Amino acid sequence: MDGRLAVLVSGSGTNLQVLLDDPAIAPHVVVVGSDRPDVKALDRAEAAGVAAFVIEPSALPDRAAFTAAFRDELLARGVDTVVLAGFMRVLGPAFCEAFPERVLNVHPALLPAFPGARAVEDALAWGAKVTGVTVHLVDEEVDHGPIVLQEAVPIRPDDDWDALEVRIHDAEHRLLPQAVTALLEGRLTVDGRRVRVGAAAS
């Protein structure tokens, strides 16, 4: 398993915690980056002894400058693999170009259904019977890159946002470590929009 991993966050960091609690992944997490100060994810990084930084978009003139700031910070720290774990900002194409096929995002829906920041709420409003979780490689479009793993989550008739969110998080916490491990172990083969996940070494 090889790689220097950055995890980018914007909130409570439950997916970050799952990665920090995984004994195979944790040694590879070298930095946590956030677009917001005073979020719980930064406390989780500190508790784990992982370096962290904050770059607020309001401090920069536009998305291109914000993208460049994150890219340059990660490159300066020797990062080669990035996980967007509840990171609520869109980074420009220059970011993916710096880490080709090495940026993973976890999204709380079965893409291409319900892209964007309100995926759980949108699935409920649409009356969908099933939603889920997608872990995908990031490209220049929002919630668009090749899909690595997906898991369906049924929507129950009495579900509200809070109840569904709990089961979505459970699925995220299962899928994300699997995808990160496969990427760090070099088991992802990308052919256009198709990603083949090779078997783990026995």
Which sequence positions are flagged as catalytic?
Answer: 107
Cα 2 → chain centroid: 18
The residue type found at 43 is D
| Contact in structure between 122 and 158 (CB atoms under 8 Å) | no
Q: Minimal CA–CA distance to 11: which of 150, 172, 163?
A: 172
Tokens of 59: 């401090």
* Contacts of 141-147 spanning 24+ positions with Cβ under 8 A: 142/90, 142/115, 142/116, 143/105, 143/107, 143/111, 143/112, 143/115, 143/116, 144/111, 144/112, 144/115, 145/105, 146/190, 146/192, 146/193, 146/194, 146/195, 147/111, 147/193, 147/195
The order of strands in the sheet holding 103-107 is: 51-54, 29-34, 5-9, 81-84, 103-107, 130-137, 147-154
